């Protein structure tokens, strides 16, 4: 396991036993645009199959941030589910977390780390991440059901659309 202490005393740890999955699930399923509505079992399975990073307050050990890394531990990693509690934002914890992930994976020999963000480009750029310069090489298979833009419901849903006047 890997751990670091921030200048203000916050502790970062990769100990999976320290991750507060109830809290993490609440953060992700209710406040993270990429995981809204994610069920508890999916969160649990995702973290069980990943390398978790948690940040904990110095005064009481309460978790204030999380990230998970999907990796083979040798050549490739995907950094995802990065979340800092709203009450703990603005203290540099997100950048510190991303830098710690980068450094820990470098120690393992991992040379490529990917991530996807809608709104935190500056945080990740601050620790060396750059936009992909050859996106035409990358492909995906996305098995999420298509969503109807108007209702936000999955297409083909059996729930009829009703309009009230």
The whole-number average pLDDT for the span 51-77 is: 97
pLDDT over 90 at 81, yes or no: yes
Can you tell me the distance from the alpha carbon of 18 to that of 90, in angstroms, rounded to the nearest whole number?
A: 23
Residue ranges covered by each domain of the chain = 3-137
Question: Which DSSP helix (H) or strand (E) runs through 123?
Answer: helix 121-125
The model's pLDDT over 28-54, given as tens digits with 9 standing for 90+, comes to: 999 999 999 999 999 999 999 999 999
pLDDT over 70 at 149, yes or no: no
| Largest pairwise CA distance in the chain | 62
Q: Which residue has the higher pLDDT, 106 or 143?
A: 106
Q: What phi and psi values does residue 80 have, to the nearest 5 degrees? A: -150, 175
CATH code of the domain occupying 3-137: 3.40.630.30
Mean pLDDT of the chain: 91
């Amino acid at each position: 396991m890997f751990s670091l202490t921030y200048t203000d005393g916050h502790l970062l740890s990769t100990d999976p036993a320290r991750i507060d999955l109830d809290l993490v699930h609440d953060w992700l399923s209710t406040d993270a645009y990429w995981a809204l509505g994610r069920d508890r079992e999916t969160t649990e399975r995702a973290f069980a199959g990943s390398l978790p990073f948690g940040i904990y307050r110095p005064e009481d050990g309460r978790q204030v941030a999380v990230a998970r890394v999907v990796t083979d531990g040798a050549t490739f990693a995907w950094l995802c589910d990065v979340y800092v509690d709203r009450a703990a934002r603005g203290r540099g914890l997100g950048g510190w977390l991303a830098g710690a992930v980068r450094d820990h994976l470098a120690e393992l020999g991992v040379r490529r780390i990917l991530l996807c963000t809608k709104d935190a480009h500056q945080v990740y750029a601050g620790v060396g991440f750059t936009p992909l310069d050859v996106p035409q090489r990358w492909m995906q298979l996305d098995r999420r059901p298509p969503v109807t833009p108007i209702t936000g419901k999955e297409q083909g849903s059996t729930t009829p659309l009703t309009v009230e006047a």
